Structure formats: C-alpha cells, structure tokens
Amino acid sequence: MTIKRRLYSDEKEQEFLTRAIAYMEKNPKTTRGKVALYAGVGVSVLERFEIEGRLTLPPKLTLKQARATSPWAKGHMV
C-alpha cells in the first residue's frame, strides 16, 4: 500500500488554482507552461488538478506549434 504525500496545504492548492484560472481567463490562447509559471507550480501539479477535475488546461502544443513559437523559426535568433 502506498502512502500519498501532500506537498501543499489546501490553502496553497486553492491559491494555485485561482491564479491559474485567472491567467487562463485573461489569456485564453496560452500554453500550459505559461499557466504553470504564473501559478507558481509545475505543469505536473496542474495536470494532477486536471485529473482530479478541478481545472481544465489548454491542449498540449503539437511539435509544429511549438517550433512556430520559437524565435529561431522567424529568423530572429536570441
């Protein structure tokens, strides 16, 4: 039997959820990584919230979409 550890308190989890939902309402075409960065947690935590049914994340970017957002795709290298 495995014991499930909790890294965050209920208050912290609620704070992450409210920040993530507010950011997604403000920027509907955002990526999962940007939502996680704004919320202050990793993407895996937000994915766990999605599995629990507390959040709906934007769909994952395809490889083609991810490459199109890179500055290398436009010729403006960093």
What residue ranges do the domains of the chain occupy?
Answer: 10-74
Close Cβ partners of 28 (under 8 Å, ≥ 6 residues apart): 58
Is this structure's pTM higher than 0.85?
no
pLDDT in tens, the chain (78 residues): 677 777 888 899 999 999 999 999 999 888 999 999 999 999 999 999 999 999 999 999 899 988 888 777 777 665
